[in-house]
Structure 1
Amino acid sequence: MIGYVRSLRLRLFLLILAPLLVVAVLLGIWRFTVAQTTAEALFDRGLLAAALAISRDVAISEGDALSPRTRALISDAGGGEVFYHVTGPGGIYVTGYAYPPSFRGTSAIGVPEYRLATYRGEGVRVLRMAETTTIGTMTGLTVVTVWQRLADRDAFAASLAWRAFALIGGLMATLALVVWFGVQWGLRPLNDLQEAIEQRTPDDLGLIRRPVPKEVTGIVSTLNRLFQQLDHSIQSHQAFISDAAHQLRNPASALLSLAETLPGVTDPKERRRRERALIGAARKSARLAEQLLSMERLRHGYTVPDSPFDPVEMAKEVCADLAPLALERDIDFSFSTQVGEGPVTLRGDRVLVTEALGNLVDNALQHGGPGLTQIAVTLEKVDDMLRFAVSDNGPGLPIDKAAVALSRFGQLQPGAGSGLGLAIVDEVARLHGGTVRFDPVQTGTRVVMELPLSR
């Protein structure tokens, strides 16, 4: 039940107080047992003292009844009313109550014997003691029998127990108050921490530098790390939105300019040229918007499915779609596979891998320059890795500039591309557990994307 307590203060209070309550109950049981044992010992001694006093009084008075003062003293000393019965030598009744409780057997001389019996329907504790005495002219055994109600003992034991219970209850109440307010005082640093967190805003995600107990240091460190990650994420989103707006501004302006000038063109050839330019600008804008959406989707909360597909067939489709663009520019475009015999299965997102490979080929077409005459796409199986490689004979890319080329909107020089193609390739490879690299070659550029066959 404690696990469902939402208040930390109440939770700590119960966790601390519960063991104390168990100890208090065990202590109360022990005190009750001790009270019973103490009451029995005290009352037995009282019976023995009463028996000795009666025996002495009988011996002194030579069989006369006890004085009222002696009976009162015996009763007060025993903690309750004491009954007695005395017989002299030969079993002659001497004094006391006429019918004592039944006490079978003979008693050893000078040795007190205790028994439990019933007297007038009530449980009693009986003490019987035999001594050799002389009463008048007769000498023999004098048997003194004294008894007391068990109810008096129980009442005395209950009185002792209740006093102990009252003391324990008072201590527990005091401890409960101390623990309750102690926990409240001990949790004040958490309240201060709450105030520090409440003061944070999306524009103020600075570190929490308020001193806290060492037990809360881990929480504060985790919060500070979370604030840093959140601040980095917000800055990344803002930078992405700023870059996206900047990248979309030029295509949008080009589309608007072409659309505004198109109605005034009467020459059919010029009109067709401008229509083609308008279509190209629209295609570029659509491609850029698609890449922006893909990049944002990949970077935030996307989980790659575990779906099998044929990478060879996928690569053939990509090359078949992009081959006409290469042939229009009189570029030698080739595709080859070296995956061995038998089917090859890649697990992941087929659409994303398709887009990544398409971006590699498109990157070669966009940045190959006017001297580009050859693009080769190869697919190899190396151990448990699948290697997609796109090679061209363009101007090439310095290996030390690879990090810039793989970053968002990263362009080594102004070109027709958006700077998102290789960044998307890098994200797709990372999500699939693979890598992207630039291999050093003598001529042109060789970009390699490696993906594991099993994840």
Structure 2
Amino acid sequence: MKRPTSLRVRLLALTLVPLMLVAVALGAWRYTVAQSTAEEIFDRSLLATALAISRDVTVSGGDALTPATRDLLNDASGGEVFYHVTGPDGVYVTGYAYPPRPENAADAPILFGQGRYRGEEVRILQLVERTTLGNLTGDSRITVWQRTAEREAFARAQALRSLRTMGALLAVLAVLLWFGVARGLRPLTNLEAAIALRSPDDLTPIRRPVPPEVAGIVATLNQLIGQMRDSIAAHQAFISDAAHQLRNPATATLSLAQTARDAADPDERGRRLDALVEAARRSVRLTEQLLSLEKLRYATPETETPEIDLVSVIEEVCALEGAAALEAGLDFELFVEARALQVRMDSVHAGEAVKNLIDNARRHGGPDLRSIRVELARERTTAIVRIVDDGIGLSPDRADTALKRFGQIGPSSGSGLGLSIAEAIAKRYGGRLVIETAVKGTSISIQLPLSGTVPDDHCPSCP
């Protein structure tokens, strides 16, 4: 797995990279501005040089330039300046013999343009003035030019100077950010140290003050700690209850085994062995229920939950439970209104839920219990498994007590886990367990969402 980038490095990159892009953009802008400034300054220098040459030519009659003007030619802004002067009659007067011509040549008193001189790019100025040389009066043309390389070097120097300044500022900023981020993250490192000092048994909420930016993380962590605390408490309560419930059957089984061993009469020994077998059966059933209840805490991912036909699963369960009910002298009936009920759930859980409800009816129906009826129906998008008996009855207002783990409405041979297991299974698969109002006896239904629409001619309430 790729190692995640340090938070400090991320913050540094997120801050400095945009600033570097801005610095590059500012450098380009500064280069453009420097070029424009150089053009303006150097063009003014060319104009001043041309005016000085025009003055000297007029004064001396074209014979010589003053020392000041010659110094200006050599030391003008942007480097050496070249010149060419023609008189009123267009005859060469002084300067370099072959001047470049601007690309945009035109008749104008002052004309700036670009051209080439001796293979180099040059900036050209043509100045046309009316002068008198000797006995001639007319327009004299002064052409001055200068290499553009000096101008570009000036612009680059200005841009580089700005970039160096911004680079130094960015370097200082990077150092400040590096140590500033470390100081800003100190509350997180302190929080890490505080958590590391905790013992595994300390599940109290974290109350250390933290910045608002990480308060949500701490709140989520406290919520997770609370859930872990509740889960551990639930496990401890379950283990305590299970130990308490298993102690009585284990004690009874041991007592029955001892009395069966000590019984001298064969008939008495047989009765006690039968009672021992029944006690062992109840212990096994209680253990199975406890294991089923605990397994429901660890849910299977929804993508791995199979789709089953609830009708076929319930028919198999009723075939076994019905035989036990008939052996106990009870009428047992399975009534199927729907031909198929496709639901997403584990078939073992489905059978366990119905088995617990049938067993609950047998154990809590009382002496007047005569029949148990299992109904399978569909109402729109819901599959319904209903167990109805004609025993002493359980009203909906006593449902809370009946649905509690190990909850008992009255004395019975049950463990008090049947209804709670059935309810947990129903909730696990998005359904619910409902204790319904009945004229006589008890009516309890498990209602589960269908995984698809199943056409059924025998279901009058189906769409």
TM bracket (short chain): 0.7 to 0.9
Q: Equivalent residue for 2:355?
A: 358
Q: Is 1:346 aligned to 2:345, yes or no?
A: no
Q: Equivalent residue for 2:229?
A: 231
Write the distance in 2 (CA, Å) between the matches of 1:374 and 1:106.
Answer: 123
Deviation at 1:201, TM superposition (A): 4.6
- Return 220-229 or 132-141, whichever deviates more: 132-141
Given that 1:65 and 1:96 are in contact with CA atoms closer than 8 Å, whether structure 2 keeps it comes out as no
Q: Equivalent residue for 2:456?
A: none
Q: Equivalent residue for 1:411?
A: 408
Q: Which residue of the other structure, out of 114, 118, 122, is the alignment partner of 2:112?
A: 114
CA deviation map 1:198-240 (0-9, x unaligned): 4555422222333434443433332222222121111111111
Q: Which residue of the other structure, out of 155, 158, 169, is the alignment partner of 2:156?
A: 158
Given that 2:57 and 2:63 are in contact with CA atoms closer than 8 Å, whether structure 1 keeps it comes out as yes
Q: Is 1:205 aligned to 2:216, yes or no?
A: no
Q: Equivalent residue for 1:7?
A: 6
Give the partner amino acid of 2:317. V
Q: Which residue of the other structure, out of 393, 405, 413, is the alignment partner of 1:396?
A: 393
CA deviation map 1:17-44 (0-9, x unaligned): 3322222222211111111122122111
Q: Equivalent residue for 1:307?
A: 307
Give the partner amino acid of 2:368. L
Write the distance in 2 (CA, Å) between the matches of 1:254 and 1:106.
Answer: 123
Unaligned runs of 5+ in 2: 453-463
Given that 2:73 and 2:82 are in contact with CA atoms closer than 8 Å, whether structure 1 keeps it comes out as no
Distance 1:88 1:223, change over 3 A: same
5 Å matches for 1:281-296? 281-296=279-294
Deviation at 1:382, TM superposition (A): 5.0
Distance 1:144 1:107, change over 3 A: farther
Normalising by the residue count of structure 2, what TM-score does the alignment of the two structures yield?
0.86
Write the distance in 2 (CA, Å) between the matches of 1:249 and 1:160.
Answer: 93
Given that 1:435 and 1:450 are in contact with CA atoms closer than 8 Å, whether structure 2 keeps it comes out as yes
Distance 1:351 1:104, change over 3 A: closer
CA deviation map 1:354-402 (0-9, x unaligned): 2111111111222233x23313213042523343333334443354331
Distance 1:49 1:286, change over 3 A: same
CA deviation map 1:63-88 (0-9, x unaligned): 23224443223432323111122233
State the secondary structure of the residue aligned to 2:296.
helix
Distance 1:334 1:39, change over 3 A: same
Distance 1:28 1:333, change over 3 A: same
- Return 183-192 or 36-45, whichever deviates more: 183-192
Write the distance in 1 (CA, Å) between the matches of 2:102 and 2:322.
Answer: 122
Q: Is 1:319 aligned to 2:318, yes or no?
A: yes
Give the partner amino acid of 1:141. D
Distance 1:322 1:73, change over 3 A: same
- Return 140-149 or 440-449, whichever deviates more: 440-449
Given that 2:434 and 2:444 are in contact with CA atoms closer than 8 Å, whether structure 1 keeps it comes out as yes
Give the partner amino acid of 2:325. A
Give the partner amino acid of 1:450. Q
Deviation at 1:261, TM superposition (A): 5.7
Q: Is 1:439 aligned to 2:433, yes or no?
A: no
State the secondary structure of the residue aligned to 2:89.
helix
Given that 1:377 and 1:388 are in contact with CA atoms closer than 8 Å, whether structure 2 keeps it comes out as no
Deviation at 1:105, TM superposition (A): 9.4
Write the distance in 2 (CA, Å) between the matches of 1:106 and 1:275.
Answer: 129
State the secondary structure of the residue aligned to 1:450.
strand
Give the partner amino acid of 1:151. A
CA deviation map 1:320-370 (0-9, x unaligned): 32334434443x323141516xx222313332222111111111222233x
5 Å matches for 1:187-266? 187-259=185-257, 265=263
Distance 1:386 1:402, change over 3 A: same
Given that 1:114 and 1:126 are in contact with CA atoms closer than 8 Å, whether structure 2 keeps it comes out as yes
Write the distance in 2 (CA, Å) between the matches of 1:4 and 1:72.
Answer: 68
Give the partner amino acid of 1:206. T
Given that 1:5 and 1:11 are in contact with CA atoms closer than 8 Å, whether structure 2 keeps it comes out as no
Q: Equivalent residue for 1:334?
A: 332
Q: Which residue of the other structure, out of 148, 152, 174, is the alignment partner of 2:172?
A: 174
Write the distance in 1 (CA, Å) between the matches of 2:314 and 2:88.
Answer: 128
Write the distance in 2 (CA, Å) between the matches of 1:173 and 1:376.
Answer: 85
Unaligned runs of 5+ in 1: none
Given that 1:107 and 1:130 are in contact with CA atoms closer than 8 Å, whether structure 2 keeps it comes out as no
Q: Equivalent residue for 1:428?
A: 425
Q: Equivalent residue for 2:121?
A: 123
What CA RMSD, in Å, does the superposition of the two structures yield over aligned residues? 2.9
Given that 2:326 and 2:332 are in contact with CA atoms closer than 8 Å, whether structure 1 keeps it comes out as no
Normalising by the residue count of structure 1, what TM-score does the alignment of the two structures yield?
0.87
Deviation at 1:258, TM superposition (A): 4.3
CA deviation map 1:68-116 (0-9, x unaligned): 443223432323111122233333433323333346898646x122232
Q: Which residue of the other structure, out of 124, 136, 139, is the alignment partner of 2:137?
A: 139
Distance 1:167 1:297, change over 3 A: same
**Count of residue pairs the alignment pairs up:** 447
Q: Is 1:268 aligned to 2:257, yes or no?
A: no
Write the distance in 1 (CA, Å) between the matches of 2:252 and 2:10.
Answer: 66
Q: Equivalent residue for 1:55?
A: 54
Deviation at 1:425, TM superposition (A): 0.6
5 Å matches for 1:364-375? 364-369=361-366, 371-375=367-371
Q: Equivalent residue for 2:460?
A: none
Deviation at 1:52, TM superposition (A): 0.6
Distance 1:345 1:71, change over 3 A: same
Given that 2:325 and 2:332 are in contact with CA atoms closer than 8 Å, whether structure 1 keeps it comes out as no
Q: Is 1:379 aligned to 2:378, yes or no?
A: no
Given that 2:310 and 2:350 are in contact with CA atoms closer than 8 Å, whether structure 1 keeps it comes out as no
Write the distance in 1 (CA, Å) between the matches of 2:389 and 2:76.
Answer: 118
- Return 132-141 or 360-369, whichever deviates more: 132-141
Write the distance in 2 (CA, Å) between the matches of 1:180 and 1:435.
Answer: 57
Given that 1:255 and 1:282 are in contact with CA atoms closer than 8 Å, whether structure 2 keeps it comes out as yes
Deviation at 1:182, TM superposition (A): 4.2
